[in-house]
Structure 1
Amino acid sequence: MTVTPIDLFSSRIRLHQGGRIHTQKRRMDSDQDGWQLTAFYARTDADVHADHWEVHPEAEEIVSCLIGKIRLYLRPEQPGQQEEEIRLTAGTAAIVPRGRWHRIKLDIPSNIMAVTLPRGSRLEKRTEA
């Protein structure tokens, strides 16, 4: 097997049962089996779909700020509650619970890495102010 460098910012890495790993061009596909690692450089809130909530019903997700400063928001579980804000700086991460709606907002341009099982993942337009 030839080992070659992988551009994390243009690829997604798929982690399969049995220890097999492969890379492919990045695309949003919530019907894939296997864990997925993605890394991206975000310059604006539009790059992280800050105006949408995201949920992963099949697994928890680890969201890591590699470089920069971001805020991870968890949507309230009950009406009337406030969003939960988690501030992530370079080299820190947080685990989003399975089935919990969440979103990211940038404080400054940042490199972000996330690992989750994408099967069944959904986006929903944020309606609150």
Structure 2
Amino acid sequence: MTPIELSASGIHLSRGGRIHAGARPADAGCDGWHLKSFHARTGADVHADHWQVNTEADEIMSCVIGMIRLYLRPERQGEGEEEIRLTAGTAAIVPRGRWHRIRLDIPSTVMTITAPCGGSSERRADPL
């Protein structure tokens, strides 16, 4: 058994109890969950200029080290973005189908867990 470098390898957790490190197995389809951890130094590392959505499952967004802000897009016209500050060791659950984005307060390590399928993104209309 060898250690897994989380920042360089995704982890696929299948519903059948198998865990696979590295690229998602070709036969995995949309089964299970995907864990991803990475260190972000700039907004480009977290795609701060894009909204993201997961249509198949909720997502856990965690700040392992540092400080980030999680923004949820307004659900109704005229409402403002919801801002959630995450500090080291905290997490938030982003509901399925809710558009969201991340902004760094300082360089941070972020970990996410979500379904491996059903995600999409779009560029923010307003510049950062």
TM-score, structure 1 length as denominator?
Answer: 0.91
- Residue 34 of structure 1 and its aligned partner are, at CA, apart by 2.2
1:68 alignment counterpart: 66
1:61 partner letter: E
1:79 corresponds to 2:73: no
Asked if the contact 2:53/2:100 (under 8 Å) is kept, the reply is yes
- Residue 53 of structure 1 and its aligned partner are, at CA, apart by 0.4
1:49 corresponds to 2:47: yes
**Which aligned pairs between 1:12-27 and structure 2 lie closer than 5 A?**
12-25=10-23
1:64 partner letter: S
2:49 partner letter: D
Give the 3-state SS of the residue equivalent to 1:79 in structure 2: coil
CA RMSD between the two structures: 1.3
2:20 partner letter: H
2:64 partner letter: L
The structure with more strand, counted as a fraction of residues: 1
In the alignment, the residues of structure 2 paired with residue 57 and residue 11 of structure 1 have an alpha-carbon distance, to the nearest angstrom, of 23
Deviations 1:42-80, CA, capped at 9 Å, x for gaps: 000000000000000000000100000000000000111
Give the 3-state SS of the residue equivalent to 1:124 in structure 2: strand
In the alignment, the residues of structure 2 paired with residue 123 and residue 33 of structure 1 have an alpha-carbon distance, to the nearest angstrom, of 21
Structure 2: any 5+ residue segments left out of the alignment?
none
Structure 1: any 5+ residue segments left out of the alignment?
none
In the alignment, the residues of structure 1 paired with residue 30 and residue 39 of structure 2 have an alpha-carbon distance, to the nearest angstrom, of 23
1:127 alignment counterpart: 125
- Seq. identity, %: 65
Asked if the contact 1:10/1:25 (under 8 Å) is kept, the reply is no
- Residue 41 of structure 1 and its aligned partner are, at CA, apart by 0.2
- Residue 25 of structure 1 and its aligned partner are, at CA, apart by 3.9
TM-score, structure 2 length as denominator?
Answer: 0.92
In the alignment, the residues of structure 2 paired with residue 118 and residue 7 of structure 1 have an alpha-carbon distance, to the nearest angstrom, of 19
Give the 3-state SS of the residue equivalent to 2:45 in structure 1: helix
How many aligned positions are there?
Answer: 123
| Structure 1: 4+ residue segments shifted above 6 A | none
